[in-house]
């Protein structure tokens, strides 16, 4: 089976498993796991921030990041298809006391003018106060779209003008970095807090990080424990993350090339494919998913007429070409 459902389905490579088996570990609740600390320090440094906190999921990293800048009963603004409002099961409301309003852009992009219309700084004790802006890069449901750095900087300026914080959902920030060559620190510089995932394109089995100031991360550490997310000898997982940072970042370019091969075969303009996600319009997505499965290719329907294909570490160029041959006649 060639599995294009998600880049989360990758299994650790032999070399990654070896790194995990050899990891030096300790009890991370006591701050005693050297491998976890090394991962946290390294990721904080990559983004030019003071500190980072290793978490079990990207959803938890986002929850901790957003709650660190959005007080209970205030709001965060984001795009209507953002993961934080569509795919985190209401966690920010249920556990963070956060409310949201959204702008909509056909490609999931930041539109400073649209955002500015929504901003509600302190207007008195009768309107919800905007506390933060949130941006997703790359944008998952929009199809792995990269947010242009100039637009992110424009949003940062807007946030500063109104005294707002910026959250960056960087589950696939590595893909944006490889596609654009913008340094990770360049993305880090526009945000007060970030969530980044090791378990997507980077191919680690488990793990994400919340990134921010030392003070915010110290408070997030308490909240992570409060939510039941403190962990012990997590160094075996952190070792997978460190291995991924050493070996699996630059190769994301291969995933992007494979995604363009799939796009071309499926009649999608390859120049619309920024990274490793291809969104294909077709007459009956469920039927295509079923037919492709019978022919050895797993895909996902993300709408009645929308198919999603995601390339990753476990799909090499020849598998991508094979999948393209299978899918081409099915989506026409």
Ligand X SMILES: *Cc1c(COP(=O)(O)O)cnc(C)c1O
Does the footprint of ligand X cover residue 140 (CB under 6 A)?
A: yes
Q: State the minimum distance, in angstroms, from the CB of residue 199 to ligand X.
A: 6
Which of 12, 58, 108, 212 lies at the binding interface for ligand X (CB under 6 A)?
58
Total number of residues that touch ligand X (CB under 6 A)? 13
- CB nearer ligand X, residue 195 or residue 235: 195
Burial category of 86 from C-beta neighbours within 10 Å (exposed 0-12, middle 13-18, buried 19 and up): middle
Does the footprint of ligand X cover residue 208 (CB under 6 A)?
A: yes
Number of residue whose CB is nearest ligand X = 58
Map residues 22-51 to x or -, x wherever contact with ligand X holds by CB under 6 A. Answer: ------------------------------
Site residues (CB under 6 A) for ligand X, limited to 181-200: 197, 199-200
Does the footprint of ligand X cover residue 274 (CB under 6 A)?
A: no
Q: State the minimum distance, in angstroms, from the CB of residue 239 to ligand X.
A: 19
Map residues 141-180 to x or -, x wherever contact with ligand X holds by CB under 6 A. Answer: ----------------------------x-x---------
- CB nearer ligand X, residue 192 or residue 265: 192
Residue range at the interface with ligand X (CB under 6 A); choices 53-61, 185-193, 260-268, 279-287: 53-61
- CB nearer ligand X, residue 199 or residue 299: 199
| Nearest residue to 263 via CA among 316, 315, 307, 200 | 307
- The residues binding ligand X (CB under 6 A) are 57-59, 62, 83, 136, 140, 169, 171, 197, 199-200, 208
């Amino acid at each position: 089976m060639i599995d294009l459902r998600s880049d989360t389905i990758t299994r650790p490579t032999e070399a990654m498993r070896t790194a995990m088996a050899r990891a030096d570990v300790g009890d991370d609740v006591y701050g005693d796991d050297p491998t976890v600390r090394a991962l946290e320090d390294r990721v904080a440094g990559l983004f030019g921030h003071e500190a980072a906190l290793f978490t079990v999921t990207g959803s938890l990293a986002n929850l901790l990041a957003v709650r660190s800048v959005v007080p209970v009963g205030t709001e965060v603004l984001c795009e209507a298809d953002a993961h934080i409002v569509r795919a985190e099961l209401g966690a920010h409301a249920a556990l963070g006391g956060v409310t949201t309003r959204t702008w909509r852009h056909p490609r999931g992009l930041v539109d400073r003018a649209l955002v500015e219309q929504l901003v509600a700084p302190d207007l008195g004790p009768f309107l919800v106060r905007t506390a933060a802006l949130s941006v997703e890069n790359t944008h998952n449901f929009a199809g792995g779209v990269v947010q242009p750095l100039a637009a992110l900087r424009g949003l940062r300026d807007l946030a500063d003008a109104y005294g707002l914080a910026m959250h960056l959902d960087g589950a696939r920030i590595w893909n944006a970095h490889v596609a654009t060559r913008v340094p990770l620190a360049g993305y880090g510089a526009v945000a007060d807090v970030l969530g980044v995932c090791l378990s997507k394109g980077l191919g680690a089995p488990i793990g994400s990080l919340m990134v921010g100031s030392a003070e915010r991360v110290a408070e997030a550490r308490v909240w992570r424990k409060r939510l039941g997310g403190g962990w012990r000898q997590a160094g075996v997982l952190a070792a997978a993350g460190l291995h991924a940072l050493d070996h699996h970042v630059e190769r994301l370019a291969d995933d992007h090339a494979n995604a363009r091969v799939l796009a071309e075969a499926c009649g999608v303009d390859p120049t619309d494919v920024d990274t490793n996600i291809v969104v294909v319009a077709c007459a009956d997505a469920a039927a295509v998913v079923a037919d492709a499965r019978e022919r050895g290719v797993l895909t996902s329907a993300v709408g009645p007429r929308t198919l999603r294909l995601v390339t990753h570490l476990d799909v090499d160029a020849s598998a991508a070409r094979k999948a393209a041959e299978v899918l081409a006649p099915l989506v026409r």
